[in-house]
Structure 1
Amino acid sequence: MRIAVGCDPNAEEFKQEMIQYVKELGHEVKDFGSKDTVYAHVAQQVAEKVAAKEFDRGILFCGTGIGVMLAANKVKGAYAANVLNVYSAKRACLSNNCNIITLGSQVTGNMLAKELIEAYLGCTYENNERSGKKVSAYVEYEQNHFK
């Protein structure tokens, strides 16, 4: 898969370690940087590229993962989830069709972050009876209410 990544300056070292790990898993990675202290800018840039399907998925980093998640979710077609455990990383993909995950460099240990990334990238969303209706409902709302 082609993975887009970005972060705020505080998460640069963490991001670099995770980029190396994603590459070790066999994925192609494009780093959208970390120099801008306004993390919303890089988060939205990554989200735009993922929503446009220029990349298969995105991974964003900041101190908690919350700020970049909020910023990414303002982009039409971007569905970002802040993941804290392996189960939620899998369900972000399997149940919610999230195309971006976010991680907090100040609240997530490096080994756990690698497990979360591997769990997320190892899943493929399947539109089914249970999840399909839920995903369709928020996609439909977005189509009707976002420019």
Structure 2
Amino acid sequence: MTANKRIVLSSDHAAIALRQTIAAHIAAQGWEAVDIGPTTPESTYYPDHGHAAARRVASGDCQLGIILCGTGQGIMMAANKVKGIRCGVCSDPFSARMIRQHNDANILSLGARVVGEGLALDIVDAFLSAQFEGGRHATRVAMIETAQD
């Protein structure tokens, strides 16, 4: 894993502006923002963007990820298909803090058509400032990681 504080960001076409705002916000906090999302408004496929960001986190190239689409749901589902990824969609700071503290989430998903810019930045800050608590939560995270049909 890289020693730098690196966060991969990606989105589909619905969230370009919010993704770029978040990238600048986290860069101002000392994070290296690795923005792999589209820059033009042509329609794109959120599963491609979710997978690409998740692979960066799963490989250790980036410690965390922030992904966005219209609702945050579709791109989150795509990211969670990558082994080792624990991604949650959040629309409030409390949930963002809890997915890090209790679920050891390594990717945050946001809906650009659900939250405004100010709230999105508050959610990002809550996600980034929280740390996994371990303990009883570690057992539950291990259960998630080993779950099979």
- Alignment counterpart, residue 137 of structure 1, candidates 124, 143, 147: 143
Distance 1:126 1:47 in 2: 22
Q: Within the alignment, does 1:8 sit opposite 2:12 as a pair? A: yes
- Equivalenced residues, count: 142
**Distance (Å, rounded) in 1 between the aligned partners of 2:119 and 2:29:** 15
How far off is 1:126 after superposition? 2.9
Quick one: distance in 1 between partners of 2:19 and 2:121? 11
Where in structure 2 are the equivalents of 1:70-109 lying within 5 Å?
70-109=77-116
Residue 22 of structure 1 is matched in structure 2 by 26
- List 4+ stretches of structure 1 deviating above 2 A: none
Query: How far did 1:53 drift?
Result: 1.1
* Cα distance between partner residues in 1 of 2:18 and 2:77: 20
Deviation per CA, 1:59-109: give whole Å up to 9, x if none: 001101001100000111111100111110001100000100000111101
Point out where structure 1 has 5 or more consecutive residues left out of the alignment.
Answer: none
Superposition deviation, residue 140 in structure 1? 1.9
Of the three residues 47, 72, 85, the one matched with 1:40 is 47
For residues 124 and 95 of structure 1, the distance between their equivalents in structure 2, rounded to whole angstroms, comes to: 9
Distance 1:65 1:140 in 2: 25
Question: Which structure features the higher share of helix residues?
Answer: 1
TM-score (norm 1): 0.92
In structure 2, runs of 5+ residues without a counterpart are: none
Q: Percent identity?
A: 32
CA distance in 1 between partners of 2:131 and 2:62 (Å) = 15
